[in-house]
Amino acid sequence: MCQNSNNQTKNPSHFESTDPTDESPTHRDLLWEDYRNLIKDMRFFDPHIHMVSRTTDDYQMMAKAGIVAIIEPAFWVGQPRTGLASFKDYYSSLVGWERFRSSQFGIKHYCTMGLNSREANNERLAEEVMEILPLFAYKEGVVGIGEIGFDDQTALEEKYYRLQLDLAKKTNLPVQIHTPHRDKKRGTERSMSIALEHGLDPSFVVVDHNNEETVKSVLDQGFWAAFTIYPFTKMGNERMVAVVEKYGPERIMINSSADWGISDPLAIPKTAALMKQRGIPIDVIRKVTYQNAIDAFAKSGQIDVADFETESKPDPSAKFHGNSILRGGQQPVMNKNSLLIE
Amino acid sequence: MANLSTNFSQFLFEQCTNKEREWLEEKVKSNLLDLMTAFVAAPRFLSKKNISYDSRSRGSLISQLTSFEVNGWNLVRLARVWLLLHLPSEPKEQYIKNIETLFDTAELNELVALYSALPLLSYPTEWLPRATDAVRSNMGFVFDSIALQNPYPELYFPEPAWNQLVLKTIFNGKPIHRIYGINRRRNEDLSIAVFDFIGERSAAGREVPISVWMLISGFTMESMIPKLFVMFSSEVQTEKEAAALVCYESKDPKIRSLLTKYPDLELSIQNGDLDWSKLEPIPE
């Protein structure tokens, strides 16, 4: 659904803007050496990242930067799916291969399951997806129904959003709401009022991709407010610092939403470094980059912090029952600065 | 339900709290859909603690299959296998469809439980395509669940599939001595493939576990002599020992005679002080 197909210079992101700006994403220019000491010994939890579109290099850097656990919401993979089997395989990969791949790098992988708003517009397929969704919602490590909500704000999007809110109630899982990029303010309000109409407890609902214009209403109504640090189209992290300074850390969390667009899987550690630099207290940083996300999604009963809260760094070459979990004896960490590949 | 034994049920319930036992018993009395959903939802109702498994239970869970072992399992995996054994096996088509559905929608741990259950399911040969698929898996836990400590491959894999399983176990750096029947199902094709593999690894400056020579033993060819010479002159004692065992077990007089230059090793073998289990224990 790229509305900007003549623009060959940039990949439109998952949150494509109708008016892409030339805003310079300062955090992308931040080098590891510049900020590693600022985040030393911090742990991070990224509650929204699409690893299926990311590389092993990303996993390695994320682990190195202190990201210990992530949530991968089911989403639109960049082009529309044409059949149910693609959905089934995609959902399976979120609880199968991708979960395993993540574990190879010492990162605990959770996911949310849902029919994304774009593909809710394909009614024939959406009907079929709704039939298999409960099968996946009950699976281990599924911490919510998501990401669901509005994109174009069509009647079909609303229909499947409502059906999935009911599924969330039935399964007693939190909801992860994707708010639209266009007409965001109204889309956000509409998403929240429908959730309340369906009797959802706002403390079970994470409203994602907020900005300065939406955050107050989200917090005032008792929802969780998530912010996406995503170059060009979402929050820059300097703006994020200002939001935290203004609203404090309660019920606010940040994520990277890194996907197949120009995005940054290290958005959280970099934002934490920037907050530290700006003198934001460490307990505030911890809340918005770690604890709040855990508190929100642990309502699923699927998060045991013991799985990733170890004092020692996870050892990716650790053995399980005497076996390396790595395929073919791969070494999880290689020296990328070396010319030699052994 | 041919393979569900009272021993298995009793062993499972010993590991459960009263509440967990009640949940399990209620689910197997329920309808088919509930039973299949219970297989998926088990971790929401049962603890994931590791089960206690001692020599008392070893080999006694399923009387028709004493090699069925559950050491190292957690309660959820054990309970999932037990739940699977309650699926009605008639009519056959429906039974197969139900198991296939569970496979098609399984996550990582469900796959592990499903592959662990293969040797106990009805119509065992129907699961061959699934089982050989598991060997192709790049997910370590899934691969392990079919390859290691699972009686199914030895019982049902045709030779080419068996050989692939063994080769992939070596390639994945996993312990071949934990493959059931590794000794009993040695064969010439496998021996050639393993020997070639050793050569390729060696050319790349990489090592293979010395125990894989056991798979070559008994199927030696003259072309292997240069490599055996290299091993005999190695500074690593276990390499010398492996070469000695290969020669000792060889049917080829030329290869057998290489051992005469190493009487101390030959004596150790004859006295029973040196065998493959000294290089890596092979459970029989």
Q: How many CA atoms lie within 13 A of B226 on its CB side?
A: 2
Please, are residues A206 and A224 in contact by the beta-carbon 8 Å criterion?
Answer: yes
Closest CB to A140 among B105, B107, B140: B107
pLDDT at A34: 82
CB–CB of A135 and B40 under 8 A?
yes
What pLDDT is recorded for position A333? 58
Amino acid at A288: V
Q: Specify if A110 maps to a domain.
A: yes
Inspect the interface and report whether the beta carbons of A324 and B139 lie closer than 8 Å: no
Across the A:B interface, residue pairs with CB atoms under 8 Å apart total 68
Residues B211 and A14: their CA atoms lie apart, in Å, by: 51
Burial class (CB in 10 A: 0-12, 13-18, 19+), A193: exposed
Q: Is A130 among the domain residues? A: yes
CA-to-CA distance for B70 and B77, rounded, in angstroms? 9
Is residue A2 pLDDT above 70, yes or no?
no
B166: which 2 tokens? 């063994």
CB contact under 8 Å between A327 and B148, yes or no, is no
pLDDT digits (tens, 9 = 90+) for A303-324: 999 999 875 444 545 444 444 4
Angle between helices B32-45 and B75-84 (to 10 degrees): 170
- By Cβ distance, the residue of B43, B142, B172 closest to A140 is B43
Statement: residue A8 has pLDDT above 60: no
Q: A138, B37: Cβ pair inside 8 Å?
A: yes
A217-228 average pLDDT score: 97
Which pLDDT value is given to residue A172? 95
Give chain A's largest Cα–Cα span.
60
Mean pLDDT of chain A: 86
Q: Which residues of B touch A100 (CB under 8 A)?
A: 108, 138-142
- Neighboring chain B residues of A97 at a CB cutoff of 8 Å: 138-139
Least CB–CB distance from A324: residue in B44, B109, B173: B173
So what's the pLDDT on residue A20? 44
Distance CA B32, CA B84 (A): 11
* Cα of A192 to nearest chain B Cα, Å: 29
- pLDDT greater than 70 at residue A22: no
> In total, how many domains does chain A have?
1
The DSSP secondary structure of A168-179, one letter per residue, reads: HHHHT--EEEEP
Give the C-alpha distances (Å, rounded to integers) separating A19 from A9, A170, B40, B274: 14, 40, 45, 76
Q: Is B229 on the interface with A (CB under 8 A)?
A: no
Which residues of B, range 57-76, sit inside 8 Å of A by Cβ?
72
The answer to whether residues A169 and B71 touch, using CB atoms and an 8 Å cutoff, is no
Residue A4 lies in a domain: no
The alpha carbon dihedral of A86, A92, A95, A99 has a sign of negative
For an interface test with A, give the residue of B139, B169, B176 to mutate (most A CBs within 10 A): B139
User: What is each CA distance from A241 to A237, A277, B11, B212, in whole angstroms?
Assistant: 6, 10, 56, 58
Q: Residue A313: inside a domain, yes or no?
A: no
Which of chain B's residues have a Cβ under 8 Å away from the Cβ of A325?
Answer: 140-141
Write down the pTM of the prediction. 0.82
- Residue A176 has φ and ψ, to the nearest 5°, of -115, 110
> For residue B108, what is the nearest residue in chain A, using CA coordinates?
A96
How many whole angstroms separate alpha carbon B199 and alpha carbon B191? 12
**8 Å CB contact of B141 and A325:** yes
Taking CA–CA distances from B205, the nearest residue in chain A reads A342
Q: Return d(Cα B134, Cα B112) in angstroms, integer.
A: 9
Calculate how close chain A gets to B105, using CA atoms only, in Å: 6
Give the CA count within 13 Å in the CB-facing half-sphere of A217. Answer: 17
Contact at CB, B172 and A329, closer than 8 angstroms: yes
B55 touches chain A (CB under 8 A): no
Taking the C-alpha atoms of residue A202 and residue A226, their distance in angstroms, rounded to an integer, is: 13
What are the sequence ranges of the domains in chain B?
A: 4-157, 188-278
Q: pLDDT at position A4, please? A: 42
Instruction: Give the 3-state secondary structure of chain B.
Output: CCCCCHHHHHHHHHCCCHHHHHHHHHHHHCCHHHHHHHHHHHHHHCCCCECCCCCCCCCCCCCCCCCCCCCCCEHHHHHHHHHHCCCCCCCHHHHHHHHHHHHHCCCHHHHHHHHHHHHHCCCHHHHHHHHHHHHCCCCHHHHHHHHCCCHHHHHHCCHHHHHHHHHHHHHCCCCHHHCCCCCCCCCHHHHHHHHHHHHHHHHCCCCCCHHHHHHCCCCCCHHHHHHHHHHHCCCCHHHHHHHHHHHHHCCCHHHHHHHHHCHHHHHHHHCCCCCHHHHCCCCC
Residue B71: predicted pLDDT: 86
Quote the CA–CA distance of A104 and A99 in Å, as a whole number. 9
Maximal CA-CA distance, chain B:
71
Partner A contacted by B41 (CB < 8 A): yes
| Residue A336 contacts B where some CB pair is shorter than 8 Å | no
CB contact under 8 A, B173 and A322: no
Min CA distance, A134 vs chain B (Å)?
Answer: 10
The shortest CB-CB distance from A322 to any of B106, B111, B175 is to: B175
Instruction: Return the ∠ at Cα A120 (arms to A227 and A8), rounded to 5°.
Output: 65
Among A327, A331, A341, the residue to mutate for chain B (most B Cβ within 10 A): A327
Classify residue A329: in a domain, yes or no: no
Q: Output helix, strand, coil percentages for chain A, rounded to the nearest 5.
A: 40, 15, 45
Instruction: Please compute the mean of the pLDDT values over residues B83-92 and round it to a whole number.
Output: 95
Q: Which amino acid does the sequence have at B125?
A: T
Structure tokens given for B99: 């198991």
Q: Is A32 on the interface with B (CB under 8 A)?
A: no
Tokens coding B227: 């490599």
Which among A141-145, B41-45, B172-176 has the top mean pLDDT? A141-145
Helix (H) or strand (E) holding A146: strand A142-149
Chain B nearest-CA distance from A175, in A, is: 19
Contacts of A299 in chain B (CB under 8 A): none
CA distances from B164 to A72, B190, B219 (A): 34, 8, 18
Give the DSSP per-residue string, A193-253.
HHHHHTT--GGGEEE-S--TTTHHHHHHTT-EEEEEB-TTTSB-HHHHHHHHHHH-STTEE
Residue B104 touches chain A, beta carbons under 8 Å = yes
Indicate which CATH number applies to the domain containing A197. 3.20.20.140
d(CA A222, CA A161): 20
Q: Which residue has the tokens 């994945």?
A: B172
- Sign (positive/negative) of CA torsion B190, B196, B199, B203? negative
Is residue A227 within 8 A of residue A16, CB to CB? The reply is no
Domain coverage including residue A108: 35-307
Contact B43 A320 (CB under 8 A): no
Q: Which residues is A69 bridged to in the sheet?
A: A45, A108
Q: Which residue has the tokens 């099968």?
A: A135
pLDDT tens for each residue of A53-110: 999 999 999 999 999 999 999 999 888 999 999 999 999 999 999 999 999 999 999 9
CA distance B41 to chain A (A): 6
Q: Is the dihedral of CA A304, A305, A310, A313 positive or negative?
A: positive
A322 interface with B at CB cutoff 8 Å = yes
* A235 pLDDT more than 80: no
Q: What is the mean pLDDT of residues B179-196?
A: 94
Q: Are the C-beta atoms of residues A128 and A84 closer than 8 Å to each other?
A: yes
**A97: contact with B, CB 8 A cutoff:** yes
